[in-house]
Amino acid sequence: MRASVSIVGGGISGICIAYYLTELGIKDVIVVEKGYLGSGSTFRCATGIRASFTTEEHIVLMKNSIEMWKELSESYGFYYLRGGYLWLLSRESDVEAFKKYVEFHHSLGVPTRLLSQDEIRNLVPGIRLSNVLASIYDPLAGKACPFEALHAIARECKKRGVKIYTQTEATRILIKNNRVIGIETSRGSIEAENVVIAAGYGTKSLMKTAGINIPLENVPHHALVTERFKETFKPLIIDWSTGAYIVQTKDGNFLMGTEIEEEPNIPPTVRIDFIPRIAKIWIQYLPWLREVRVLRYWTGYYVMSPDRHPIYGPVDEIEGLYIAAGYSGHGFMMGPITGKLIAEWIVDGKPSIPQAMRLTLRRIKEGKLIHELAVIG
């Protein structure tokens, strides 16, 4: 097999990269995925999409991604809603920190704002706020259905001539004279002038076959989903002091997660203490959750970079080799902008958003880390 671009990874990143390559006129694209589409982090995510971060890089990229989510959902008919993010703050130090974040958001065009308790109750009827000192609302933020979104974009890719092979594991990057020439897979080799590794934590081992060390850690995170209810609230709600979130999905289920200490790079394990912990957090705000049934509980991963930003773009040592990994829990929401930027790097030689240039592997090698503070879940 042969392609202009071969992409390893069939999650939202890989599929969006393929889509935006076709937008730029590159039709002979091959995507390989070792499992099924979305089987990595994409189908285990919390569905949220926001620009309320603490760095210019994340905010600028996500403002663009939010607009792209709107355009994609309107074009291909999948669920996307700007229901906002609601950050609940119960410590004085957090209130002071978030006041500064709000000023920073405003300087970059993100209209976050402090809410009164009455405004919070209008957004989330029946919520108890006895421990809440302040709340920040991000009206640009929202949520999408990862299952609908990924398959809708993948179907359009196929219509445009992209070949997608599932159950196909990439095992080695093929290089000649410091130039990528393709990949070796469980179905044989694929010749390609450009190769993109967008394989989550698998990016680390694949890049080692090219002699490149990518400092990624695979950190387990836990989530559950409940039975369905009619729409109760639109925002994704965050209890900042615990790193917990709750969001109501398209179908009415409540999806919840919280930070829980885990060793990185271990197999996923069931934590008997997870459900009681998450229940205790959200019952204090929404007492009626005490009677709600849990349908499923699962473990996914945040593929963490050293500074909690993605590692994007070309690899200095090998021409034609690109990375898109290390989103640290934000890969789904960054899917569209990831696709656009990597496609531009391949076709035009540089991305249209200058801030993306700061997110290459070079920053880590040179110790120029850009630390993101607003990581939850």
Q: What is the mean pLDDT of residues 229-244?
A: 97
- The predicted pLDDT at position 267 comes to 85
Find the mean pLDDT for residues 165-188. Answer: 98
Q: Are residues 328 and 223 in the same domain?
A: no
What is the residue-averaged pLDDT of the chain?
97
Domain co-membership, 248 together with 274: yes
> Does residue 74 fall inside a structural domain?
no
How many domains does the chain contain in total?
2
CATH label of the domain that carries residue 240: 3.30.9.10
pLDDT digits (tens, 9 = 90+) for 3-32: 999 999 999 999 999 999 999 999 899 999
User: Residue 25 falls within a domain, yes or no?
Assistant: yes
Say what the pLDDT of residue 28 is: 97
Q: Please give the average per-residue pLDDT across 155-176, as a whole number.
A: 98
Instruction: Check whether 101 has a pLDDT greater than 90.
Output: yes
Mark which of 283, 302, 321 sits at the end of a domain: 302
Range of the domain at 98: 82-140+218-302
Which residue among 273, 302, 331 closes a domain? 302
For residues 201 and 226, membership in a common domain is answered with: no
pLDDT of residue 140: 98
Residue 158 in this model has a pLDDT that exceeds 90 = yes
Listed in order, strand segments (DSSP E) in 186-327 are 188-197, 217-228, 236-239, 244-248, 253-257, 294-304, 311-314, 321-325
Tell me the pLDDT tens digit for each residue of 126-141. 999 999 999 999 999 9
Residue 266 has pLDDT above 90, yes or no: no
* Domain identity same for 354 and 324: yes
What percent of the chain is predicted at pLDDT more than 70? 100
pLDDT in tens, 54-85: 999 999 999 999 999 999 999 999 999 999 99
CATH number at residue 314: 3.50.50.60
Do 159 and 30 belong together in one domain?
Answer: yes
The confidence band for 268, taking pLDDT boundaries of 50, 70 and 90, is confident
Residue 358 has pLDDT above 90, yes or no: yes
Task: For residues 292 and 228, give the distance between their C-alpha atoms in angstroms, rounded to a whole number.
Answer: 9
* 175 and 284 belong to one structural domain: no
pTM: 0.97
Report which of 362, 342, 314, 32 is spatially closest to residue 179, judged by C-alpha positions.
314
| Element at 96 (helix H, strand E) | helix 92-107
As a whole number, mean pLDDT of residues 143-155 equals: 98
Q: In the block, which residue shows the tokens 């290459």?
A: 360
Q: Is the per-residue pLDDT at 219 higher than 90?
A: yes
Asked, for residue 60, whether it belongs to a domain, the answer is no
Identify whether residues 171 and 206 lie together within a single domain. Answer: yes
pLDDT band at 269 (very low <50, low <70, confident <90, very high): confident
Residue 377 has pLDDT above 90, yes or no: no
Answer with the one of 302, 317, 338 that is the final residue of a domain: 302
Do 136 and 242 have their domain in common? Answer: yes
Q: Do 310 and 208 fall into the same domain?
A: yes
Q: How confident is the model at residue 115 (pLDDT cuts 50, 70, 90)?
A: very high
Q: Which DSSP string corresponds to 160-197?
A: TT-EEESS--EEEEEEETTEEEEEEETTEEEEEEEEEE
Domain for residue 270, yes or no? yes
Per-residue tokens: 345 = 């790097």
User: 76 with 60: CB under 8 angstroms?
Assistant: no
Residues 205 and 167 in one domain: yes
pLDDT grade for 317, boundaries at 50, 70 and 90: very high
pLDDT of residue 184: 98
Q: Is it the case that residue 183 has pLDDT exceeding 90?
A: yes
SS3 24: coil
Pair (183, 128) in one structural domain: no
